[in-house]
Amino acid sequence: MKRLAWLLAALFAAILIPLALGGSELFQRLRSFPLQLLLAMLGMIVLCWCLNALRLRLLLGDSLNGISPLKSLGIVMSTEFAICATPAGSGGPLTLMALLARNGVRPAKGSAVFATDQLSDLLFFLFALLGILLYALFHNLSQKLESMLGVSALLMLGGLCLGLGCARYHRQVITFNGYLLKRLNTQAITRRRWARKLLHFRDALIDTLKMPRRKMLLVMLLTCSHWALRYSVMYLALRGLGADVQWAWTFLIQMVSLSAGQFSLLPGGAGAAELTSAALLAPMVGKSTAAATILIWRVVTYYFYLLAGGPVFLLMLGRPLLNKLMRVREA
């Protein structure tokens, strides 16, 4: 009960930030926002879930084991809910692998699917940043935007290199993991069990990445479509409020804000994401417009995930795993 109260307090504080920033003008700005555009943005999120469900089915390949398209959609919605309800999205992999295991998918295969999914996401963001950098070469962007582009691109490239390095030198990674476990006075049988798990994960990841090239390109196309839709929400919110801001700016603002939210270790970055986006948006469009934009953006890309995904999560996994996720969040 205490954990749930902490979660609700964090969500309430996140709502208070745009309310305090916008003041009395906030509600006037919200009333002027087109309802049809808001419904269209919510429809974009539903489409994102469908795209991710199709991507999951492609990555599972022969391991689908009779998982229906509707159940695939439920798995995606439950996983997204867990990501939003736990710090740094720590409950996402646990939820995905638990749901896949209930449908006969081995844990090694489930973790390989999650790793491949994350790798495709990382590639999208890297290519998107490179595209914005090319755009910056032919357009006059601010120095602040260019510095954000450079730092973000370096971080993405570093993450990709780290992942490829771990895959290339997996034997050394397994040896180092065993050394760490030994230093922690872990029993030999436990160290061998973890080594087997890592080897099974490696084999499953290799098997997943060996899918036909056409299918892999389709996975990347679905990834790009999903993130392009999701990262257009802030841009559309600004347009609906009458502000003219470059899409590249909104893309970077969302990246920086959500990254700050991950480091805050609060569920969904509640509070930190709002503060960071407010600091970046307010000087450009004014406090009231920035506050209205942030509130609409978070309603569509965060609160809607909790409201729509929560019942699906409880239906598919029930209260025991939810309590386990809350314990992970507290740790």
Task: Give residue 155's pLDDT.
Answer: 66
Q: How far is CA 315 from CA 144, 198, 267, 306, in A?
A: 46, 31, 21, 14
Task: Give residue 24's pLDDT.
Answer: 79
Q: How far is CA 180 from CA 152, 170, 172, 186, in A?
A: 31, 15, 12, 9
Domain ranges across the chain: 2-115+215-330
Task: Give residue 8's pLDDT.
Answer: 73
Nearest to 81 by CA among 67, 95, 68: 95
Task: Give residue 224's pLDDT.
Answer: 93
- The residue type found at 255 is M
Q: How far apart are CA 74 and CA 80, in angstroms?
A: 10
Q: How far apart are CA 301 and CA 233, in angstroms?
A: 8
What's this model's pTM, rounded to 2 decimal places? 0.82
Walk along the chain (331 residues) and give the pLDDT tens digit of each residue: 555 665 676 677 778 888 888 887 888 889 989 999 999 999 999 999 999 999 999 988 888 877 899 999 999 999 999 888 887 787 888 889 889 988 888 887 888 888 888 888 888 888 887 777 777 677 666 665 666 666 666 766 676 677 666 656 656 666 666 666 666 667 666 666 656 656 555 655 666 667 788 888 999 999 999 999 999 999 999 999 999 888 888 988 888 888 777 777 777 788 888 888 888 898 889 899 999 999 999 999 999 999 999 999 988 886 555 555 555 444 4
